[in-house]
Amino acid sequence: MSEKTIDLLYIDHVAFFGPQDVYLKAIQKAFPHLKIIVRGDMLKAIGAEKELELFEKKFALLVKHFEMFGQIKEKDIEQIVSDASTHEEKL
């Protein structure tokens, strides 16, 4: 098992993870083989190296989307996670 830590210092946690962490739960659901924990300004993902690499790429796209549009929704998460290459080209 490996782990990856991502700094969330410049992200509005309430807007990004949603009310009652609804978007965080959608992200966790999209990566069922990872344990994803948020504490303060840090996100930690724990799991297999291959899964972590995929998570890191897709999470970066989620952050990019959030920075561009100032919001993120469950459908955005589903689209980005399921088809990151197409979504990245749109951004």
DSSP SS3 for 72: coil
Instruction: State the pLDDT at residue 86.
Output: 44
Percent of the chain topping pLDDT 70? 91
Q: How far is CA 12 from CA 1, 17, 72, 84, 87, in A?
A: 29, 8, 11, 22, 22
Instruction: State the pLDDT at residue 9.
Output: 93
pTM across the whole model: 0.86
If you average pLDDT over every residue of the chain, what do you get?
91
**46-90: pLDDT as tens digits:** 999 999 999 999 999 999 999 999 999 999 999 999 974 544 445
